[in-house]
Structure 1
């Protein structure tokens, strides 16, 4: 036993060659990088590998999203301009200027008017027309001006509400359209498992991931549309209240002019 123990103690453990150590380290890094690459999410690959019905659903949602953003930017510009023009006209109207001069400025050639100025122009034009007619009493003059202002105000509000229903439809329908694409994709994925003897999560995961992209796109299209619709609908409602208040105030001014005659 003593010679054997002496021989074992005399034996030294040799380290791996430097090249072998580097090779092992590189192999480990390659395995780690491959695993990370396989787990990364590539939306374009998922869309391209999806089934044709799911791709059609995604295309429809993409169109709805783009159209919604176009309407959002345009509607914001229109509503901001309507509020700005209302402020400017009210400043001129309540500055003490004569109504006839304001009306002459509103009816200038090649001048496009809208909002409060259009309501004022319609009411004052009808009031002046009925005032020049024989047999038209003060009540008829005032009611005619009020009808003209209500009709013009309704047209102005209808123009401000244009395309808001599209935002409402996109916001309410897009999640269900995306869900339809997801359900269809999952059905296709599970149908493909019928011909496999062994089914694992690795075989099902790619198809489910492709299908879930449709739901994500549906939410991506719906959330901005719902937010914009609520915001713009509130703005339109405030502008409508402002138009109605101006019509009532202008009717009171016309009533005082009729009583003074």
Structure 2
């Protein structure tokens, strides 16, 4: 039954397949149609979106192009602005350099004009110039104000030139006799400045010398009969024209007939400098004076001594030449005979010869020979080689002692040469140091206050050089003469030993001459 049932089932299913297939195809067609419609709708939407996107892209492209153009415009503007900024910076630097240069020139002018003012003009311009200069110095943070103040000084200078060129007359004061301030009228006419007192009792030419009181010093002129006062008052008349600003008149008053030479003026200046010398400077100069006194005393004594030695040496060599041909003359037992060169020298000659160092060497040798010959009076064998060497040693010892005597005292000249400049330099350094210390306490720098102290301090160095320079020359001269004398003594010793070995050669020592020659080489 099962197979039949299966067959029947298959037959039933087979009968149902066509119907199912037909319904499935229909359904698929509907699905495909629906899908096609959806696809067409989607394609249309995509087309619409693509068109919209294209429009947006085109719009964005247009905006990008516009922005690119604007960016290029901005870049050109930036380059232009950068170029302008650089140009402005260069111009600013140029203006700064010009300002710095102008400010420096004006500053130098402000400093220089004060030194160019005649003492008569100081009472007119100096206070105003110094006031503007102080304001300019205090306005370094405000360049405009600084330059403005500097220009005020320049305007004062131009005003001064105009007034001086045309003859400037003004009421003021001047220093008369005894440094007393006198009221009157001053006339600036080019390089000359004239003054007449109010009471017409005093008139003259104003000197350009700085008095330190910002007032000119008047040099009175004789026999003017009031012509200067009249010319100043009326503006007409003859006045003595002096292109030296009174310096020639001052010189004429100081030296009316040329009685003082330039050297005397320099000596007078040393006196003025000495008046400002401080205590420490006087100590240094005192030490230098002590060195000079001791050094020149030693030098004078040494000159006299060497001159006497030279005369005695000349006479001794003359007597020695007479004696050297017969050295046996000193064989006498009488010491007086030895001292008188065997009776050839009179007492006056002996006194002169005894001053010679060669005589002292000769006397030592003579005494040594006489002493040894007396010991050998019986055998009379002469002098042995050892005796000759011993005598030579005694002569060399005498040479050393004489050399010490010759150089005795030269140490003081050496101290003067080495120590004089240092003592003077110490006085100068201390004086300068004290001068600057005083200036620092006062707080003002004034050339008239510094110069006397510095000059007086330098005087100590001058004193030290005065000690050292002559001492150096004298020492070199004396040392040269002493070396010559010592050289003569050495030559004399060699000659004496050679002749002694020749005349007193012992019979038991035939080589004494060779020994003497060896000693001579030594």
TM range (shorter): 0.7 to 0.9
| Contact 1:189 1:207 survives alignment (8 Å) | yes
Q: Name the structure where helix makes up a greater proportion of residues.
A: 1
Matched, 1:77 2:304: yes
The Cα of 1:52 is off from its aligned counterpart by: 1.2
The Cα of 1:29 is off from its aligned counterpart by: 7.4
DSSP 3-state at the match of 2:295: helix
Matched, 1:121 2:121: no
Q: Name the structure where strand makes up a greater proportion of residues.
A: 2
Equivalence map 1:237-248=2 (5 Å)? 237-248=483-494
DSSP 3-state at the match of 2:322: coil
Consecutive unaligned residues of structure 2, counting only runs of 5 or more, are: 1-195, 201-223, 230-238, 256-264, 331-336, 508-522
The Cα of 1:109 is off from its aligned counterpart by: 9.5
Q: Distance in 2 between matches of 1:85 and 1:49?
A: 52
Instruction: Decide whether aligned partners of structure 1 residues 92 and 257 sit closer, same or farther in structure 2, where only a CA change above 3 A counts.
Output: same
Matched, 1:130 2:376: no
Instruction: Decide whether aligned partners of structure 1 residues 106 and 66 sit closer, same or farther in structure 2, where only a CA change above 3 A counts.
Output: farther
DSSP 3-state at the match of 1:19: coil
TM-score normalised to structure 2 length: 0.42
| Contact 1:186 1:207 survives alignment (8 Å) | yes
Matched, 1:93 2:335: no
Deviates more, 1:161-170 or 1:104-113: 104-113
Residue matched to 1:32? 250
Deviates more, 1:136-145 or 1:240-249: 136-145
Instruction: Decide whether aligned partners of structure 1 residues 200 and 34 sit closer, same or farther in structure 2, where only a CA change above 3 A counts.
Output: farther
Residue of 17, 20, 39 corresponding to 2:226 = 20
Structure with the greater relative contact order (CA < 8 A, sep ≥ 6): 1 or 2? 1
Matched, 1:156 2:391: no
| Contact 1:153 1:243 survives alignment (8 Å) | yes
TM-score normalised to structure 1 length: 0.81
| Contact 1:131 1:141 survives alignment (8 Å) | no
Instruction: Decide whether aligned partners of structure 1 residues 53 and 94 sit closer, same or farther in structure 2, where only a CA change above 3 A counts.
Output: same
The Cα of 1:159 is off from its aligned counterpart by: 1.1
Q: Distance in 1 between matches of 2:341 and 2:302?
A: 25
| Contact 1:171 1:225 survives alignment (8 Å) | yes
The Cα of 1:106 is off from its aligned counterpart by: 6.3
Deviates more, 1:50-59 or 1:203-212: 50-59
Matched, 1:43 2:270: yes
Q: Distance in 2 between matches of 1:106 and 1:158?
A: 26
The Cα of 1:49 is off from its aligned counterpart by: 2.8
Residue of 290, 293, 316 corresponding to 1:66 = 293
Alpha-carbon RMSD across the aligned residues, in angstroms, is 3.4
Consecutive unaligned residues of structure 1, counting only runs of 5 or more, are: 1-15
How many residues were matched structurally? Answer: 245
Q: Distance in 2 between matches of 1:166 and 1:140?
A: 42
Q: Distance in 2 between matches of 1:87 and 1:254?
A: 22
Instruction: Decide whether aligned partners of structure 1 residues 29 and 129 sit closer, same or farther in structure 2, where only a CA change above 3 A counts.
Output: closer
